[in-house]
Amino acid sequence: MTVICELAQRTRIRAFRARQYVLLIAEGELATPGFDVDIAQSPLEIFPPQFTVLCRARPGTWPRRVTPYRDAKTVRFPEDQSTVTVHHADGTDQVDIEKCGEELSFYLRAVGDNASRSCPQGADEATGFSKKLSFEEAFANALANLPPVQSSVADSLERIQVLEIGALFGSIAGFRDMFVRICRTHD
Q: Shortest CA distance to 180 belongs to which of 166, 159, 160? A: 166
Residue-range definition of the domain harbouring residue 36: 5-99
Q: Which of 118, 110, 108 is nearest to 165 (CA)?
A: 110
Confidence at residue 116, expressed as pLDDT on a 0 to 100 scale: 61
69 and 126 belong to one structural domain: no
Question: Are 89 and 121 in the same domain?
Answer: no
Based on the domain organization, do 182 and 118 belong to the same domain?
A: yes
Residues 19 and 111: beta-carbon distance below 8 Å: yes
141 has a pLDDT exceeding 70: yes
The domain boundary residue, chosen from 55, 74, 99: 99
Same domain flag for 64 and 107: no
Q: Give the pLDDT score at 114.
A: 60
pLDDT digits (tens, 9 = 90+) for 2-51: 567 899 999 999 999 998 899 999 999 998 899 999 999 998 889 999 99
126 lies in the same domain as 90: no
The Cα–Cα gap between 53 and 19 comes to 23
Task: Give the pLDDT confidence score for residue 133 in this predicted structure.
Answer: 95
Are 9 and 69 within one domain? yes
Place 101 in a pLDDT band, splitting at 50, 70 and 90. confident
Domain final residue, candidates 66, 99, 132: 99
What pLDDT is recorded for position 1?
52
Q: CA Rg, the chain, in Å? A: 18
**Full-model pTM:** 0.85
Q: Provide CB contacts within 8 A for 96, sequence distance 6+.
A: 15, 82, 83
Chosen domain end from 99, 133, 148:
99
pLDDT of residue 19: 85
pLDDT tens digit sequence for 58-81: 888 888 999 999 999 999 999 999
Do both 109 and 53 map to the same domain? no
Q: What is the mean pLDDT of the chain?
A: 90
pLDDT greater than 90 at residue 120? no
Cis check for the bond before 63: say yes or no (omega within 30 of 0).
no
